[in-house]
Amino acid sequence: MMSVLEWKNVELFELRSINSSGLETIKADITAHCCNFTKTINNTLTSSTTVLCDLDGFVHVIFENDNLRTTSFKCPNSQKPVKLCALTTNHLLTLITQDDADIFSFRIEVYDLKNLMKKEKHACCISTELIRSTSAATFLQAEFMGDQNPNAIFAIGIGFEKGDLLLHFGKISSKVVLNFRRHIIGTGSINGIQFEGNSMVSDIKTYNMFVTCLDGIYCLALNDKGSVEFKSVLDTNKNVDNHCSTISQPIGSESFLVAGRDDAIYCFTRDGDGRGPCYAIGGMKKFISWIGHYLIVVVNTSSDSLVICVDVENKLIVFHQRIKNLICVGSGKGRNSYYIITKAEALNIFMLQEHNTATKVQRLLAKSMYDNTLRLLERSGNANSRNTSYVRLKFGNNLLMRGAVSSAVEEFERTIGLIKPYDIISKLLYSRHNNNLNRYLRNLLKTNHNRTVEQIKLHERCFHRESLSLRIQQFWSSRSHFCDFQQLLVHDNPFLSLVNAQSKSENLISIFQNTEEKEILHFFQEHGREFLAMNSSMLLETLKTLVQNCKIQNILPYLIIFSDLDEFCTNLLVDFSKEQINSDEGLHYYKLLHYLSLWRDKKLSSQTIHKYLKQTPLRLNNTLIICKAFFFKIEPNNPINDDTDQATITCLDTNLKKSKSVAPLLSFPGTKVLYLRNLMVNKFFQNREEAKTDLELIEELRETIQSTNILLSQFTSNPIEFRNSCCDQCRQSLHMPSVYFLCQHSFHMDCIRCNYDTKNCFICDKNIKCNSFINYDKIDSIIPCDIIEEVSNLFASGLVGLKNCKNVSDKVNDKIYNCDPFINNFKNNYKNPFEENYDSNFNCF
Amino acid sequence: MSYAYLFKYIIIGDTGVGKSCLLLQFTDKRFQPVHDLTIGVEFGARMITIDGKQIKLQIWDTAGQEAFRSITRSYYRGAAGALLVYDITRRETFNHLTTWLEDARQHSNSNMVIMLIGNKSDLDSRREVKKEEGEAFAREHGLVFMETSARTAANVEEAFINTAKEIYEKIQEGVFDINNEANGIKIGQQATPTNPALPGSGGAGGAANSGCC
């Protein structure tokens, strides 16, 4: 079953053997044991005493002051072995001896062990009595309440098998007169009694007594006047037995009565408000103790005992070991130390002791448990030490790496004065961390810790940078502003700037005011197509404005940039011709070409072209060649300016003769260029089509580049926040160590290691493979030729197998099945590293 | 600290839906992105004020895993309110609500106020369960519904306080037998009952029964 043992495990305790304790000579079986500890005002233990009673009737007392000392004595009044024992903080030892044959009577003896502490050989018996009972005694507890107060109370509680209890509750004197009163508590055997000082009510001191039976937990109110009142039932549970109990240290503002049951350890509020937390540690509990933040649990197993120490506040397993032949666990003198006594042939004593702070910090840091380390340091009173600051620095770096910048800076701020500011500032210099750097510097400068001029300047810069972004935002939001050409070049979206500037033509001109025509050309070569895609009319207006203001003298390169856009080029040329009356003749032909393209696309009438031909001084031979290329017939009465013979068009272009493919043909006698007309026309059309295809391809590639750039900018400008709570492989909650991929898939490191060797996200890898399979090429290869059937199959392939296409859909399904990472994992006998914890339905057990 | 009433809550729902984070946000006003698995039952408490009265909320945050179901079931009986939590980014946690609800109804007292909570509302881009679906489920089963974010604290206070208000109203209407602590309600010293169902308002011995704070 999953249990508290799933928590992070850091060994913060060590178990070491103690030699020469004097116990090595004890061979007899131990029949009873108990321990006590005394505290000073600040709650530290000054001494502890453990008592072991053996089958031979000897009582062995182990004192721990500066060293360990064992003294043994035999009870003079009873020859039987001790069955139960209890020790108070003022060293009053209560013993119960009972004959197995006669369970209806037992002897109780009270010894003062102070004599033994003074190295005398015999303990002083201060009271002994033979008492009748209804059943066998099952639990004994003795408590001294009131410290050195003259009205201190000595309480003895004896629990019995039938759920009744004998209680002695009276003031202590040199001779203890035992005065027991019987109380019926429950029906089950009593296995825990806890006394606790409570409060003063009208000069009467009241106490709580918690009684744990097999089937219930009860609270009784006692007072120093001898009154006993039934207060509340904390819990009754007939299904699961209580085995042992203790009182916890406060968790938050509350402390609890803690009961160990088979399935878990349950806490109950002591004022009867109800239940508290529950820690799922399974197994038969032999012993539980709660000191400080640590809960020690001893679980009995068939062959040995499992000793678990849990830091309940930090949810850490700090000690976890199986120990054979365990007799008892008692409190040690030191802070958070315990004795563990085992018996093989003889008694052995071990000390379970918490490591020193340095070792604990080292171990926690080795597991990157920074927050736990800081809590530990705070708990040990080192919250503001230099070492703590180094831990904070490491924690901050770790948080920064994980993207929790704000939390990181919180940690960094707490290192001010102890860690060099450079170590932190250097990590926050990126503009995206500007606010956080500003925050850190503000606090740094407030503290006056060796503030330097550079730090002050940097803070100013930060402030400036912060206000700069605001100003830029305002700048772009108010469109009355305009920028110059250099700003335009560095801006993310230069076209938007142009659009803003377009609202006033003088703005636009002012942008290009001191710009050379060459720079303008470069600018449009780089961004022209992009602008065109966004707003072609605005682009045309921009170019027209530049032409009108003589910023563009040579229009030809611009026509090449937009050569595929006849209408655009024509408009531009029309405008250019108006401005540049003496424009180049070549431009007229260029314009004719675009006119003819528009005529071919039926966007322009032939009259317009004829009109143009009439108005424009063009050479006939050039005009005829161009018009022939577009199959445009020139009207016979068209007055084209030409000084050549109109009867025959003889192509004497020297370039033609230079052509490698045409020149050999012309070398034959009698061959005229005219004979090659058909060939050349065909070739011309072929080339034109190819060029068109190439242009389309270029356009497609340009669009792809554009979309990729947008995607890239999204990646770089938008940090990804990971908040996956569970592993995408095993679907269990993530715990360290884990791997986070940029695609936002996360896995336990074990899941990755166990199943894959790749460093890539295997889900995405598989998806890519799957997607690459479902492309038209592959589907084409497995589907019939009929287009209707093909489309049907495409739809049906993932859903149902069509009547005649079942094979096809099966094939598609098979392929998809093989490509699905999850299905495939199971198919390939995927192994979950935590599978031992689950049943066949993936439920934990 | 004294209180007029003590209400006991239980938080239930699938593992990883954010039950512990909701509790931590409500009791400590902080969010812990990486939270250790709840093993067993965790516990938290906070004072709130309703109708000018101090009310102590004692909250049991249960483990969501099936393995702990036997432990967590024993906590239903003493609860006056339940927060049934699902994760809006994981459809399966919503699908399991019926099982949780059946379990709660079977093991709790019949008057227990159940608040349905769709947690992680800040992760709207990864949403798999529409708000309307949550509302419809709540309507169908007579629950109160709210979407929360333990990360941003959105609606967290409201979820706990509205549940307390519902319980308080039921007390005023006399629906709850507040003499029976098994109903998850305890009267403190501050309580000034105003209806006949409350101890002290009519019958003898009611005030004497009120526990200490």
* Lowest pLDDT segment from A211-220, A316-325, A463-472, A617-626: A463-472
| Domain assignment present for B203 | no
Whether residue B5 has pLDDT greater than 70: yes
Of A330, A340, A307, residue with least CA distance to A85? A330
pLDDT band for B154, please (50, 70, 90 cuts).
very high
- Cα separation, A435 vs A794, whole angstroms: 53
Show the 3-state SS of A506-531. HHHHHHCCCCCHHHHHHHHHHHHHHH
Name the strand (E) or helix (H) holding A330: strand A326-331
Assess B19–A contact: CB distance below 8 Å, yes or no. Answer: no
pLDDT band for A508, please (50, 70, 90 cuts).
low
Of A138, A137, A134, A116, residue with least CA distance to A125? A116
Backbone Cα Rg of chain A:
47
Predicted pLDDT at A460:
85
B45 to A253: CB separation less than 8 angstroms, yes or no = yes
| Domain assignment present for B205 | no
Q: Which residue of A has its CA nearest to B33?
A: A723
Written as six digits, the tokens of A504 are: 């006033």
CA distance B142 to chain A (A): 28
CA distance B25 to chain A (A): 15
Identify residues of A whose CB sits under 8 angstroms from chain B CBs. Answer: 1-4, 6-8, 232, 237, 251-254, 263-264, 267, 269, 271-280, 315, 404, 723, 725-726, 733-736, 843-845
Q: What residue ranges in B139-213 does DSSP mark as E strands?
A: 144-147, 185-187
**A436: Cβ–Cβ under 8 A, 6 or more apart, which residues?**
A405, A406, A408, A409, A428
Nearest by CB: B6 against A273, A315, A736: A273
Assess B31–A contact: CB distance below 8 Å, yes or no. Answer: no
* Domain count within chain B: 1
CATH of the domain at B92: 3.40.50.300
CB-CB contact of A591 with A646 (8 Å): no
| Domain assignment present for B200 | no
**A348: Cβ–Cβ under 8 A, 6 or more apart, which residues?**
A17, A23, A24, A341, A342
- State the residue for tokens 């600051």: A389
pLDDT band for A449, please (50, 70, 90 cuts).
low
| Domain assignment present for B207 | no
B70 to A277: CB separation less than 8 angstroms, yes or no = no
Written as six digits, the tokens of A320 are: 């976890």
Q: Which of A58-72, A347-361, A558-572, B43-57 has the highest mean pLDDT?
A: B43-57
Q: Which of chain A's residues have a Cβ under 8 Å away from the Cβ of B125?
A: none
Of A256, A92, A72, A270, residue with least CA distance to A173? A92
Three-state SS for A838? Answer: strand
Q: Which of B37, B99, B151, B187 has the highest number of chain A CBs within 10 A, making it the mutation to test binding with A? A: B37
Give the count of beta carbons closer than 10 Å to the beta carbon of residue A296.
Answer: 23
Of A319, A191, A314, A208, residue with least CA distance to A255? A208
Three-state SS for B62? Answer: strand
B41 to A277: CB separation less than 8 angstroms, yes or no = yes
Q: End-to-end CA distance of chain B, in Å?
A: 6
- List of domains in chain A: 369-475 (1.25.40), 583-682 (no CATH), 720-767 (no CATH)
Nearest by CB: A276 against B43, B66, B212: B43
- Cα separation, A645 vs A270, whole angstroms: 121
Q: Which of chain B's residues have a Cβ under 8 Å away from the Cβ of A253?
A: 45
Of all residues in chain B, the percent with pLDDT exceeding 90 is 55
| Domain assignment present for B193 | no
Identity at A377, one-letter amino acid code: L
Nearest by CB: B40 against A232, A278, A736: A278
- State the residue for tokens 């497609």: A700
B67 to A1: CB separation less than 8 angstroms, yes or no = yes
What is the average per-residue pLDDT within A755-777? 64
pLDDT band for A670, please (50, 70, 90 cuts).
low
ipTM given for this complex? 0.81
**A9: Cβ–Cβ under 8 A, 6 or more apart, which residues?**
A316, A317, A320
CA distance A34 to chain B (A): 30
CA distance A1 to chain B (A): 7
Going from the C-alpha of A140 to that of each of A37, A110, A127, A610, the distances in angstroms are 17, 12, 16, 123
Three-state SS for A8? Answer: strand
CB-CB contact of A414 with A440 (8 Å): no
Q: Which of chain A's residues have a Cβ under 8 Å away from the Cβ of B15?
A: 733
Assess B123–A contact: CB distance below 8 Å, yes or no. Answer: yes
pLDDT tens per residue across span A768-786: 665 555 544 444 444 444 5
Helices of type H across A426-565: 434-447, 453-477, 485-490, 494-502, 505-511, 517-534, 536-548, 556-561
**A545: Cβ–Cβ under 8 A, 6 or more apart, which residues?**
A505, A508, A509
- Cα separation, A423 vs A415, whole angstroms: 11
Helices of type H across A667-775: 677-717, 749-755, 762-773
Q: Which residue has the higher pLDDT, A528 or A643?
A: A528
Domain extent at residue B124: 5-187
**A376: Cβ–Cβ under 8 A, 6 or more apart, which residues?**
A314, A357, A360, A361, A364
For chain A, the average pLDDT equals 75
Identity at A708, one-letter amino acid code: T
CB-CB contact of A123 with A112 (8 Å): yes
Of B27, B54, B11, B19, residue with least CA distance to B168? B54
Which pTM does this prediction carry? Answer: 0.60
Going from the C-alpha of A250 to that of each of A254, A353, A383, B7, B183, the distances in angstroms are 5, 22, 21, 21, 26
Residue A212, beta-bridge partner list: A192, A217
Q: Which residue has the higher pLDDT, A333 or A666?
A: A333
Show the 3-state SS of A44-112. CEEEEEEEEEECCCEEEEEEECCCEEEEEEECCCCCCCEEEEEECCCCEEEEEECCCCCCCEEEEEEEE
CA distance A255 to chain B (A): 12
Exposure letters B129-168 (e unless 16+ CB within 10 A, then b): beeeebbebbeeeebbbbbbbbbebbbbeebbbbbbbbbb
CB-CB contact of B113 with B80 (8 Å): yes
pLDDT band for B96, please (50, 70, 90 cuts).
very high
Of B204, B196, B203, B169, residue with least CA distance to B5? B169
What is the average per-residue pLDDT within A401-408? 84
CB-CB contact of A100 with A129 (8 Å): no
| Domain assignment present for B206 | no
Q: Which residue has the higher pLDDT, A542 or B164?
A: B164
Q: Which of chain A's residues have a Cβ under 8 Å away from the Cβ of B78?
A: 274-275
* Lowest pLDDT segment from A297-306, A467-476, A771-780: A771-780
| Domain assignment present for B196 | no
| Domain assignment present for B192 | no
Name the strand (E) or helix (H) holding A200: strand A190-201
Of A707, A702, A710, A709, residue with least CA distance to A561? A702
Q: Which residue of B has its CA nearest to A316?
A: B36
Written as six digits, the tokens of A661 are: 């493919």
